[in-house]
Structure 1
């Protein structure tokens, strides 16, 4: 797999703490709110097929906010938004968005959760309920709620067992297993340090039961992870977040039936970030990550995770030493250079006309030592990437053994001494013209 950066020209602004949800009927990812230099009230729609964002500018919108939560109710064909932070205070309103009509509606349900920030929501398709858990109401909370759009009613579920109080966690609905998957989050009490969680939980609405999963391996404890369920691969995808070391750029896959987290190794990844938002585009089979805070500030980037295209590009190979046509005085020759690739260089090999390929030491920066006989010789170097594409270079050198060089230098030296002596004697005779009469 690989992350690919969107080439969309018209994008939402540099943004963090916004909310997204995938409208499967309209095949659009809907984005609302977030924080730029202040809370935003903009509504955007992303079309992965055309790789383009559209600022929807509806006539009527929810008030500006950040740290809200959204989920798409497929039965009612509505994006549901709840709560968030508006100019530093929490609001407890519930809104629905109809993409086709480009219209927001304040639903004003008679009962509702207390306003909060940093909560998470996911839509349980089989039960036709939007599930909400946790968030911050001053301190962190751990309540579970279910919203029924048709009845316009929030119900507090009060399961007998639930995750501890937390906010800024990630949630996604596993359609195949009919479970809400929760990972991570943080808790902060007034005047106390922040606690990050690395727990994995699953919620069954029909049984009203949270189950802690205890996988053997799992991502590091973190808040603000992006979570989305990939239908095609039957796995929950996690990207990024904030851990004790700062922004994180890891990608992980979770399989519920095997209760297994697997670290991914994308060919290309976005920079580490937190406060981003992630959704799965079912029609395009891509996980889409938008915005967030990197280590250099908020970003407007959109990234898509999907299968990597076929690799047909060979590595770039440079032989730095010896140079072409070099004359060398030793049969033991040090060879070095570099190799780069759009994916990854698997190996670099070196051979001579009289030897087979043997591995060099290193790949992107590599070295080798070969033994050559006297005379004109060739050194062959080959770099191969992880897809099997190869690039080769040949360097021609001349080996002149040091014994030959010393013999030649000695012969030249003797000749020069003899010539000097002859010239010296001759010059002395010219300076003494009477020598012939003595």
Structure 2
């Protein structure tokens, strides 16, 4: 009894220390493990979850240095130490999975290991430090990776939306009822090019903002039998109860592999933080490249995105495929790992301290409704050439042939040049 009281007291004291360091501000702070603590290998595309009752962070899987991981680590914020759990029974190694925390359990599902994709469900019990595979009923989620979803704080459903397997992209959404051990289909997808719901995609970011509300951003919409930008910059809000999607205003630069998490509530309402992501790909011709101090901010009361500059002078190195999760007791969101633009995968741990009220005083880098920002990619360039060829040159050639025959023999040369050029533009 006394031991439990002491542990609780230490947890509160440690949380108060972290909060005091950045009280009232949105600011990054690197969490340094104890010098004698073991460290997990560097990685990306892993799963993390924060257990407030224990003030600990659970981490599973991922990939890095040519290795696909199936290890489980726990970081204790009270002692500043990592601990690896080596058990006989554990999930198969994988990366790019969906995960979330429910009470004393850390749930994972989907993902891939370069040979196959998964649709199984596992949970880690922080009390017994053991993994257990679940055997759910119902309409199972497809075996995919690169999906988005999770479990809302206080929620009892694990959502999985979109993703892809070795052959195709998905636009479906499923949820797993933790208490009923049951999969349900929330959204069955629609026409691949409808503007009323999100296109099939993968490698996007997502976060649960309420038990049945999911926000997704960006991702890769091309390949796998579909077409679209890669990366994309569209974002959507799912009402899981109604099975309906609402498109949010565009604002942030296109990204794949972004990380999203919900800041602890403030007086000004809920705020989603978007960190990192890959902004430059072979498809992008012109884009806005975020600074190290930038984070994307979605204010859920207005559903408006903006890019804000975090206070301070210390920031995580720019990266993508990191894991970000809400840490209520610490008063912010925790970031672990990812792949940097220059130095490969990393295993550093950061706390972005703040709440919904902290972002209102931050400098705005970009805001929806402000100056028009153009993102040029090969799809836009293709559109320009198609319009020039079919909409201008082809019509001009026909116009010359119809109305300028009596102006002399040069009409046919002009007609032929216009017609030939229009075919080249296509």
TM, length-normalised to structure 2: 0.66
Q: Which moved more, 1:285-294 or 1:110-119?
A: 110-119
Q: Find the counterpart in structure 2 of residue 170 from structure 1.
A: 205
Matched with 1:283 is 329
Alpha-carbon separation, structure 1, partners of 2:155 and 2:186 = 14
Equivalent position to 1:252, from 296, 320, 338: 296
Query: Which residue in the other structure is 1:66 paired with?
Result: 95
Q: What whole-Å deviation, never above 9, does each CA across 1:204-233 have from its counterpart, x for those lacking one?
A: 222222111225xx2211111111101234
Which of residues 245, 261, 264 in structure 2 aligns to 1:228?
261
Contact 1:232-1:285 at 8 Å conserved across structures: no
Is 1:242 the counterpart of 2:278 in the alignment?
A: yes
1:242-391 alignment to 2 at 5 Å? Answer: 242-244=278-280, 249=292, 250-266=294-310, 267=312, 268-295=314-341, 296-306=343-353
Pick closer, same or farther for the CA change 1:157–1:182 going to 2, 3 Å.
same
1:122 matched to 2:150? The reply is yes
Partner of 1:23: 51
**1:96 equivalenced with 2:131 (yes/no):** no
Q: 1 CA distance for matches of 2:219 and 2:118? A: 21
Change over 3 Å in CA distance of 1:178–1:146 after alignment to 2: closer
CA contact (8 A) 2:337 2:348 kept: yes
Contact 1:71 1:81 in 2 (8 A): yes
Partner Cα separation in structure 2 for residue 25 and residue 179 of structure 1:
24
Give the match's secondary structure for 1:132.
strand
C-alpha change, 1:173 and 1:114, in structure 2 (3 Å) is closer
Residue 187 of structure 2 aligns to a residue in which SS? coil
Question: Contact 2:324–2:336 at 8 Å: present in 1 too?
Answer: yes
Distance 2:55 2:237 in 1: 27
Contact 1:140–1:167 (Cα < 8 Å) also in 2: yes
CA-to-aligned-CA distance 1:80-121 (integer Å, 9 cap, x gap): 111211243212211111111111111122442121111112
For residues 51 and 213 of structure 2, the distance between their equivalents in structure 1, rounded to whole angstroms, comes to 20
Match of 1:331 in 2: none
Whole-angstrom CA distance in 1 between matches of 2:212 and 2:112: 31
After superposition, what is the alpha-carbon deviation per residue over 1:383-419, rounded to whole angstroms, capped at 9, x for unaligned? Answer: xxxxxxxxxxxxxxxxxxxxxxxxxxxxxxxxxxxxx
Distance 1:99 1:129 in 2: 19
Contact 1:127/1:206 (<8 A) preserved: no
Pairwise CA distance, 1:126? 6.4
Are the aligned partners of 1:32 and 1:44 in contact in 2 as well (CA < 8 Å)? yes
CA contact (8 A) 1:185 1:196 kept: yes
Q: Distance in 2 between matches of 1:162 and 1:127?
A: 24
- Provide the alpha-carbon RMSD of the alignment: 2.5
Secondary structure at 1:162's aligned position in 2? coil
Matched, 1:181 2:208: no
1:281 CA drift (Å): 0.7
For 1:196, which of 222, 231, 248 is the aligned residue? 231
Partner of 1:424: none
1:5 aligns with 2:30: yes
How many residues are aligned here? 303
Asked if residue 45 in structure 1 is aligned to residue 78 in structure 2, the reply is no
Instruction: Report the 3-state secondary structure (helix = DSSP H, G, I; strand = E; otherwise coil) of the residue aligned with 2:171.
Output: strand
Contact 1:69–1:119 (Cα < 8 Å) also in 2: yes
Inter-partner Cα distance in structure 2 for 1:5 and 1:282:
17
Does structure 1 retain, via aligned residues, the 8 Å contact 2:257–2:320? yes
Whether the 8 Å CA contact 1:126–1:178 is kept in 2: the answer is no
Instruction: Please list every run of 5 or more consecutive structure 1 residues that lacks an aligned counterpart in the other structure.
Output: 309-438
Alpha carbons 2:230, 2:256 under 8 Å: kept: no
State the match for 1:105 in structure 2: 132
Whether the 8 Å contact between 1:59 and 1:103 is mirrored in structure 2 is no
Q: Distance in 2 between matches of 1:127 and 1:190?
A: 33
Deviation at 1:187, TM superposition (A): 2.1
Partners of 1:158 and 1:264 in 2: CA distance: 33
Normalised by the length of structure 1, the TM-score is 0.64
1:49/1:265 CA distance change after superposition, 3 Å: farther
More helix by share: 2
* Structure whose alpha-carbon radius of gyration is higher: 1
